[in-house]
């Protein structure tokens, strides 16, 4: 069953702008992860944030986690055309499984 | 990072035939591998957890006799779609934990199955 729900479902921005994607989930988690999927390809792990962390950075990525609201956000700064992809949040819980959201389609216009 | 490969990358088969998809961990040993399926523009749905040397654990609603999983070695898991039908057409992706990065899964590139 799906746990994460991302919004928006689709996002189109101009190159150089920032992209913010949100994810909400329902049950308690051990950590939350964000993945990227280029069309017709496998998933690439972007960043992991633990339940006791509130914010994490990795290069142009910034992820936040609010466990009280059961939500997370992924910010991509200074977006590039190569960032065009689908982005998924996934929660890792006590069942030791990753549960994925529906995904967000990001289009970055050159 | 850890590398997971899948073969074939795409396959087209006739209805009623069986198709085998291989998932290999190239630079690490994978005691556990996961099989997902993904329909167009949708999320990944976990089908089963494959454990080396033991039976796979299937998610609710996934037919174990339809989707046969074999994890005979620490680097290879196979998914066989038996008596495939057009509704089995999907994108199948495997993944595994490498052990180096706790809780991070490394995904194969996926296999596109089209059943005519």
- Sequence-distant (≥ 6) Cβ neighbours of residue A52 within 8 angstroms: none
pLDDT digits (tens, 9 = 90+) for A32-84: 999 999 988 889 999 999 999 999 999 999 999 999 999 999 999 999 999 99
Residue with structure tokens 């899964």?
B105
A98 contacts B43? CB cut-off 8 A = no
> pLDDT at residue A1 above 60?
no
3-state secondary structure string, B48-99?
A: EEEECCCCCEECCCCCCCCEEEEEEECCEEEEEECCCCHHHCEEEEEEEECC
Does B110 sit within 8 Å of A48, measured CB to CB? no
| Residue B93 with chain A: CB contacts under 8 Å | 42-43
B12-21 pLDDT per residue, tens: 999 999 999 9
Given a cut of 50, the residues of chain B with pLDDT beneath it are: none
Nearest to A88 by CA among A74, A78, A101, A69: A101
Instruction: Quickly tell me which residue has 């590139």 as its tokens.
Output: B109
Percent of chain A residues topping a pLDDT of 90: 77
């Amino acid at each position: 069953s799906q746990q994460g729900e991302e919004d928006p479902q689709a996002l189109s921005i101009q190159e150089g702008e920032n992209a913010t994607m949100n994810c909400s989930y329902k049950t308690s988690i051990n950590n939350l992860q964000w993945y990227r999927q280029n069309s017709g390809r496998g998933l690439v792990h972007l960043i992991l944030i633990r339940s006791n962390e509130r914010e994490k950075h990795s290069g142009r990525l910034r992820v936040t986690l609010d466990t009280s609201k059961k939500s997370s956000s992924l910010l991509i700064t200074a977006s590039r055309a190569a960032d065009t992809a689908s982005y998924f949040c996934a929660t890792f819980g006590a069942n030791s499984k990753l549960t994925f959201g529906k995904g967000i389609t990001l289009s970055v216009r050159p | 990072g850890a590398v997971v490969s899948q073969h074939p990358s795409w396959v087209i088969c006739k209805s009623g035939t069986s198709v085998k998809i291989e998932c290999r961990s190239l630079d690490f040993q994978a005691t556990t591998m996961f099989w997902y399926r993904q329909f167009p523009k949708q999320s990944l749905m976990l089908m089963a957890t494959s454990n080396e040397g033991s039976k796979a654990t299937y998610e609710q609603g996934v037919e174990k006799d339809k989707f046969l999983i074999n994890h005979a070695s620490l680097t290879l898991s196979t998914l066989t779609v038996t008596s495939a039908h057009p509704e089995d057409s999907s994108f199948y992706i495997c993944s595994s934990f490498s052990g180096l990065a706790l809780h991070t899964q490394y995904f194969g590139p996926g296999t596109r199955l089209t059943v005519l």
